[in-house]
Amino acid sequence: MVEVYCAICGTPIYTSGSVDSRKIWLNKVILLTSAHESENGIELELDLYYPRTNHPRSLWSYHLGPHPPDEAQRRVLRLDTDVDNDICEKPYFKLAGSGKKVRALSVHLACHPLPPGGTQGGPIYLPVHRHCLHIADCFIQSVDASMHTSSEEYHGKITSIRQLWEVLYRRLEGYILADQWVLQEPHDYFGGKSCRSMEWEPPNDPPYGALLEENPVEIPNITKSILQNLEPIPTGLPTGLISNVQDTDDFQWVNNLRNTGLVCDYTYSQDWWCRALIHKKMLPWLWDIDIHEIRERQQSGNWNWELLARQLSQVEIHEPHDTTLKLPLGLRNRRRIWRILEEGRVDDVAEPEGRARQEAIEEKQRYWAIMHSQIQVPTRSFPSSFPPPPPPFRGTS
């Protein structure tokens, strides 16, 4: 049976059959869609998306039709779904409450197939795990207010639920008959490619298959699992290193610490690093660590909090082979999903693909133009996969 995959994490959504308790999070599903206020300003109408059938640059994206709604009135909806064992016809989901059955990962048309020459738009529903949406909410909350206005660095990035929607839906192939079960992601979701086939089989891609199935939110003993990596302060450090510390209450520079060097410089005290860890803006993906547990450990000895923070800042610790730290798979999976959100950009899939397709078309047009003008060109200038050009125009005389 075909699996449908979460638009955020790239792991399947289990909507039928028995699921063991470890994997129960995989069948808790929300459908994302977008809507706008109706003209009376009271009701919400779902946004309708149209395929771009004739535009070579836009094969990856739908558009909002000839009369798009006002951007200021658009919003993202989260629709609860009922797990329905009777719906074996994936990728359909049943909306909680109304019981309406909707098709995910394509434009949901009221009438299909279309009459000849007809155009029609429909809503898009993207399935995501509840837990993955929770991680996305934590991610968005962690984005500092200054990031919205300060620099180009955040242009197109996920800084709001609206922007998350823009990133995700634009990864949907923009033609109406797409049978798509998983959205493209520029990094192929950082693992699991070999088992992300028609049938999800985790053993097909060890150890990523097992990693992707681990619950990334409810992680038992999360704080202990991190603190097991804490090392004592090395002995014999030059006294100057310890006495010249520059502690401040400013944690700004360690906000969302990423890939900092692993060599400690002891510019700040260990207490400062411990406070920065508790501050949670340093490593916002650890939003649920237990502050009391950390304080207790801090008081139990002389620990190297700086080294732990630098290790936790390495973005590739989601890799199951990474030896920087001993971490449970659930926490590695969380860091993987967090990285997917960090890297997400509007049109991140569409732009390179669209450019490549357009360049191929333009190159083919140049080829045909040259052949029509009967200028001899070396055949090796063009890919052998090009079709033979049409016969040159010879006039009527």
Least Å from the CB of residue 8 to Zn ion: 5
- Residue whose CB is less far from Zn ion, 34 or 333: 333
- Residue whose CB is less far from Zn ion, 215 or 223: 215
Least Å from the CB of residue 29 to Zn ion: 9
Q: Work out the angle at residue 171's Cα, subtended by the Cα atoms of residues 168 and 176, and round it to the nearest 5 degrees.
A: 115
Which letter does DSSP use for residue 15 in this model? -
Q: Which amino acid is at 308?
A: L
- Residue whose CB is less far from Zn ion, 214 or 319: 214
Least Å from the CB of residue 26 to Zn ion: 8
- Residue whose CB is less far from Zn ion, 6 or 282: 6
Least Å from the CB of residue 11 to Zn ion: 5
Residues found near Zn ion in the complex (CB under 5 A)? 6, 8-9, 129, 132
Largest CA distance in the chain: 99
Least Å from the CB of residue 344 to Zn ion: 14
d(CA 76, CA 372): 51
- The two tokens of residue 342 are 């960090």
d(CA 230, CA 33): 43
- Residue whose CB is less far from Zn ion, 59 or 331: 331
Task: Return phi, psi of residue 240, to 5°.
Answer: -60, -35
SS (HEC) of 230-269: CCECCCCCCHHHHHCCCCCCCCHHHCCCCCCCCCCCCCCC
Least Å from the CB of residue 100 to Zn ion: 23
CA dihedral 139→149→31→213, nearest 10 degrees, is -30
- Cα of first residue to Cα of last residue in the chain, in angstroms, is 62
Least Å from the CB of residue 14 to Zn ion: 11
Least Å from the CB of residue 337 to Zn ion: 7
- Residue whose CB is less far from Zn ion, 306 or 348: 348
Which letter does DSSP use for residue 61 in this model? -
Q: How many other C-beta atoms can be found within 10 angstroms of the C-beta atom of residue 308? A: 20
| Contact by Cβ (8 Å): 66, 102 | no
- Residue whose CB is less far from Zn ion, 215 or 304: 215
Estimate to the nearest angstrom the gap between the alpha carbon of 367 and the chain centroid. 39
Using only C-alpha atoms, what is the Rg of the chain?
26
- Residue whose CB is less far from Zn ion, 127 or 354: 127
- Residue whose CB is less far from Zn ion, 103 or 131: 131
Q: Residues 6 or more apart from 81 whose CB is under 8 A from it?
A: 15, 29, 30, 31, 93, 94, 95, 96, 127
Percent helix, strand and coil across the chain, each rounded to 5?
35, 10, 50
Least Å from the CB of residue 210 to Zn ion: 15
